[in-house]
Structure 1
Amino acid sequence: MMTTGKGALDGIRVLDLGRVLAAPFAAQMLADLGADVIKVERPGTGDDARRYGFFGLPDAGGGRSPESSFYLCGNRNKRAITCDIATGEGQEIIRRLAAQADVVIENYKVGDLKRYGLDYDALRPLNPGMIFCSITGYGQTGPDAPLPGFDGLFQAMGGMMAVTGIADGEPGAGPLKAGPSLVDIFTGHNAAAAILAALFHRQRTGEGQYIDMALLDCSVAMTSHIMQDYLVGHIPPPRVGNGGNGGGPADLIRASDGLVYISAGSDRHWRNLCGLMGKPHLIDDPRFATSFLRGKDNRLAAIAEIEMWSMHHSAGELVEMIRSIGCPVARYNELPQVWEEQQVRHRGLKVAVDHPLGASVDLIASPLAGMAATPATIRTPPPTMGQHNKEILRDMLGYSEEMIGELAARKVI
C-alpha cells in the first residue's frame, strides 16, 4: 500500500534529467525521503530504461507497455514531463524548472548539456543556490571523460569483476559480473549522499555547488576491503567464489534439498559447529586451527567436512540447528523464495501500489523506511511518460492550455 506524510526532504524540489539507472536511482532516493522530483523524458521514446528488463506492465491491448520492470525500480514518487531539449522551447522549459529547483541531477555525456545551454555554468546564474549533480561514466575530466559507459564496463575496469567468480583451479573458474547493476546502484547512493551533504552545506552557508560523480570512481571504491588488501600487501587477493571475505568457513553448503549459507568465522563458531556435527576432533585439526586457514588456505577441505554432515539434513533443519548454536546461517533463496521469508514479510519489503494503467504493481520498499521520525515512503507509483505535463507546465510555469496544446502538437513535449 502507498503511504502519505511529510518526509525529511519535504519542500525540496529536484529536477531529474537522468536516464537508465544511476541518476534516476539517486533521484528516487530523494523522492522516497519526501522531495518533489520532476522527471524529464524525451517525447515519444522516454527514458531508455523503459526498454530494459525482461517484463513490463501490460498495455490496454495486452502487449508490453513502456512501464518496464527496469523503469519501475528507479522512478517511484516522481512527477513526469516530456520535453525535447533540442528545441528552444524545450530548453526554456528546463531553464524555468531549474530556476525553481534545489537540485538538478543529470547523466548526459560530458559536454552534451553545454550544447543546449543547460549545463551548470549556464543555469547557475538563474539559481545560485542550486546543487547540480552530474553523473557520468568516467567523470568530467581526464582522457576518458568523453566516453560513454555502462555498469558492466566498470565492474570489469574497476576491479570488482577480478575478485568476483569461482576460484582459480575450480570448475568454472574465472571473473564474473554481479547480477544486479551494482555500480549503478552504488553510484546512485553516493550521488544521493553527496546531494544531501550539499543541501546541508547550503543550509549553513547559502552556497550551492557542483557535484562530479563518476561510475569509475565508485567502482574502484566499492571493491573496498579487498582492494585495500592489495594496496597493503601488493598481491592481488584470490577469488574465493562464494567464500566469505572475513573468517571461515563461510560459504554455500549443500543440504539434502537445497543450499544454505553458513558463516562460522570465529573460533567459537567453529568449535560449536564441530560439536553439532559430532566431529569434535576437527577442533584440534591443524588444517583448521585458525579462521584464515578454515576460510582461505583449507577452505575446500573445511567445506567437504561440513557437507559430509549437512547433506543428511534438509535446509530447514540446518538453519534451525545451526542457529541454535549461535552461528550465523541463512537459507539460499531463489527469487520467489525471498518473498516467503518470514522476516522479509515482517519488514514489509514488498509494497503494492495502484498504477495509472489500472493494474496493481509490487515495488521493493526503501531500506530507509526505518527512520523513526521521517521514514522513506512510497507515495505514488512510477509515473507514465508525460503524465504530469499539464500539471507542471500550467501550475508551476504558468503556461496556458493553448500553449501546452501547441507544444504537444509540435512534439516539444
Structure 2
Amino acid sequence: MTSSPPRPQPLAGIRVLDLSRVLAGPWASQILGDLGADVVKVERPGNGDDTRAWGPPYLKDADGQPTRESAYFLCTNRNKRSITVDMASPEGQQQLQQLAAKADIVLENFKTGGLQQYGLDYASLNAINPRLIYCSITGFGQSGPYASRPGYDFLIQAMGGLMSITGVPDDEAGAGPQKVGVALTDILTGLYATIGILAALQERNRSGLGQHIDTALLDVQVATLANQASNYLVGGMVPRRMGNAHPSIVPYQTFPTADSDMILAVGNDGQFARFCTVAGRPEWAQDERFATNPQRVRHRAELIPLLRQTTVMRSTAEWVSALEQADVPCGPVNRLDQVFADPQVQARGIQVDLPHPLGTVATVASPVRLSATPVQYRMAPPLLGQHTEEVLRDWLQTDHPEKAIA
C-alpha cells in the first residue's frame, strides 16, 4: 500500500505583494505566508520597515552581539521575502506595477489615497490585473469625515471605546483609562484583513475577478467590543471600567492568594457551588444573595470581599490544584518567562526557533493547527532587501534588478 503524497499548503501558489509596514498589515501577510503564500515584502531602500528600528531589544548574532534586527520586526515578518524599492521613482513605480500584474493579492496600509500618486492605488492596479485582490488597511477607512486622518493603535483604542472599559474603576486608587498591553487593535485588524482576503480568494474562484477590501482600525475596534457594545445597544447602559472584573459574571476576576494572584473564572452556578465546597464555605452556594449568577452580579460588593478573605489563605498552586480537581476554571497570572516555561505551552510547541542569516531567531508559532496541511516555517524574518534579485527572477524572469530597484 503506497502512501499519498503530502498535500500542498492551503495558499501554495498564491502571490502576495506586501506594501504594508509596522503591525496590522504585516500581521496579515505573515498569516498568509504561514499558510503557504509567497509573500514579497516591499521596503524602503536604506531603512526598510519602520519597526526595524523599534528597539532594543535586537537579535543577537552567533557571538552574542546585538544586530540591527529588532525583536518587534521579527515578531511579524516570518515566511516573507524582502525586496527594496524606491517607490518615489518612476522606475520603482513601474517595477511595482509589474509585480502587481503577477500578484494575487496586494496588501497596503498607506493613508487613504496615498498610493494614487504612485499609480499603485486599487483603480490603477485593477486596470492592470482584474483578478487582483487589493486589501487596504487604514485608521478610519476609505470613506467618512475621518478618512484622511492617520490612525494608530493607541489612538484607536481610545476613540473606539476600549480604553473606556479598561483600567481601574473610577472609585479606586489608580483609576483612569488604560490601553491594552499589546497593540491589540492592530492585531485584530490584521486578522480581519486576512479573513477578508481569504473570502475574496474564494469569491474569485467563482467570478474570476478580484476586489477591493476596505479594512479600518476603528471599524475593527468597535466591532470587537463584542458583549460590551451589545450591552450598550440592547440595554442602553454605558459600560464602565471594572478592572479585572466582568460586567455580567461573578466571580470572574483576579483574587489575591498567599503568595501571588490567581484567576477565578466561574461561568455557572454549579462551578460556584463546587468552589464554595473547596473553600470550606458551602453555605455561600445556598445563600439567596449568591446562589445564582444574576444574584451574584447584584450582590457583587458583598461577595467579592468574602472571597478575597478566603483566597489569601492558600497559595496559588494550592488553589489551582484543588480547584482543577473540582472542575472549577482557575489559573495563575503568569509573567512571560513563566508562560514559555509552562508545560502546556512547551507541549504545544509554541516557541519555534528558525535559522537566520545572523544566527537563530526565536518566534511564536502560528496558532492555526491544520491536520493535513500544517503551517510550515520556511523562512525567518528577512534581512532588508535580502531577496531582491531572487524575487525578480521568480516573478518577472529578469536578472537586472539595478534597472528599477535600489
Aligned equivalents of 1:82, 1:13: Cα separation in 2: 17
1:158-185 CA distances to partner (integer Å, 9 max, x unpaired)? 1111111112212222211001101000
> What is the Cα-based RMSD across aligned positions, in Å?
1.8
Q: How does 1:95-174 map to 2 (within 5 A)?
A: 95-174=97-176
Q: How does 1:14-33 map to 2 (within 5 A)?
A: 14-33=16-35
Q: How does 1:207-356 map to 2 (within 5 A)?
A: 207-294=209-296, 296-356=297-357
Change (3 A) 1:68 1:292: farther
User: Which residue of structure 2 aligns with residue 365 of structure 1?
Assistant: 365
Aligned equivalents of 2:7, 2:66: Cα separation in 1: 33
User: Which residue of structure 2 aligns with residue 69 of structure 1?
Assistant: 71
- Opposite residue 311 of structure 1, the aligned amino acid is V
**What's the offset of the Cα at 1:61?**
9.3
Percent of residue pairs bearing the same amino acid type: 46
Q: Is the 8 A contact 1:244 1:263 kept in 2?
A: no
User: Which residue of structure 1 aligns with residue 3 of structure 2?
Assistant: none
Q: Is the 8 A contact 1:160 1:222 kept in 2?
A: no
Could you list the runs of 5+ residues in structure 2 that have no partner in the other structure?
A: 1-5
1:314-361 CA distances to partner (integer Å, 9 max, x unpaired)? 21111110111111011110111001211111111111111111x211
**What's the offset of the Cα at 1:373?**
1.4
Change (3 A) 1:377 1:398: closer
Q: How does 1:11-50 map to 2 (within 5 A)?
A: 11-50=13-52
Q: Is the 8 A contact 2:61 2:360 kept in 1?
A: no
Q: Secondary structure at the match of 1:367?
A: coil
1:210-254 CA distances to partner (integer Å, 9 max, x unpaired)? 111100100110111101100011111222211135421011111
Aligned equivalents of 1:238, 1:80: Cα separation in 2: 45
Change (3 A) 1:107 1:385: same
Aligned equivalents of 2:68, 2:231: Cα separation in 1: 44
Aligned equivalents of 2:7, 2:383: Cα separation in 1: 23
Q: Secondary structure at the match of 1:252?
A: strand
Change (3 A) 1:201 1:355: same
- Opposite residue 216 of structure 1, the aligned amino acid is L
Q: Is the 8 A contact 1:13 1:103 kept in 2?
A: yes
**What's the offset of the Cα at 1:81?**
0.2
- Opposite residue 312 of structure 2, the aligned amino acid is M
2:80 to 74, 78, 81: 78
User: Which residue of structure 2 aligns with residue 202 of structure 1?
Assistant: 204
Aligned equivalents of 2:10, 2:403: Cα separation in 1: 38
Q: Which range moves more in the overlay, 301-310 or 315-324?
A: 301-310
Aligned equivalents of 1:37, 1:145: Cα separation in 2: 28
Could you list the runs of 5+ residues in structure 1 that have no partner in the other structure?
A: none
Aligned equivalents of 2:283, 2:64: Cα separation in 1: 63
**What's the offset of the Cα at 1:45?**
0.7
Aligned equivalents of 1:60, 1:353: Cα separation in 2: 13
- Opposite residue 124 of structure 1, the aligned amino acid is N
1:146-203 CA distances to partner (integer Å, 9 max, x unpaired)? 1111001110001111111112212222211001101000000000000000000000
Q: Is the 8 A contact 1:248 1:266 kept in 2?
A: no
Aligned pair count reads: 401
User: Which residue of structure 2 aligns with residue 6 of structure 1?
Assistant: 8
Change (3 A) 1:53 1:162: farther
Q: Secondary structure at the match of 1:44?
A: coil
Q: Secondary structure at the match of 2:371?
A: coil
Q: Secondary structure at the match of 1:112?
A: coil
User: Which residue of structure 2 aligns with residue 404 of structure 1?
Assistant: 401
Aligned equivalents of 2:394, 2:162: Cα separation in 1: 46
1:119-151 CA distances to partner (integer Å, 9 max, x unpaired)? 111111211101000100010111111111100
- Opposite residue 365 of structure 1, the aligned amino acid is A
Aligned equivalents of 1:346, 1:300: Cα separation in 2: 40
1:56-84 CA distances to partner (integer Å, 9 max, x unpaired)? 11369976533211111111000110001
**What's the offset of the Cα at 1:310?**
2.0
Aligned equivalents of 1:245, 1:319: Cα separation in 2: 24
- Opposite residue 122 of structure 2, the aligned amino acid is Y
**What's the offset of the Cα at 1:274?**
1.1
1:290-311 CA distances to partner (integer Å, 9 max, x unpaired)? 31343x4433532322232222
Q: Is the 8 A contact 2:7 2:372 kept in 1?
A: no
User: Which residue of structure 1 aligns with residue 386 of structure 2?
Assistant: 387
TM-score where L is the length of structure 2: 0.94
Q: Secondary structure at the match of 1:75?
A: coil
Q: Secondary structure at the match of 2:289?
A: helix
Q: Is the 8 A contact 1:247 1:264 kept in 2?
A: yes
Aligned equivalents of 2:8, 2:388: Cα separation in 1: 24
Q: Secondary structure at the match of 1:147?
A: coil
1:177 to 179, 184, 190: 179
Change (3 A) 1:22 1:59: same
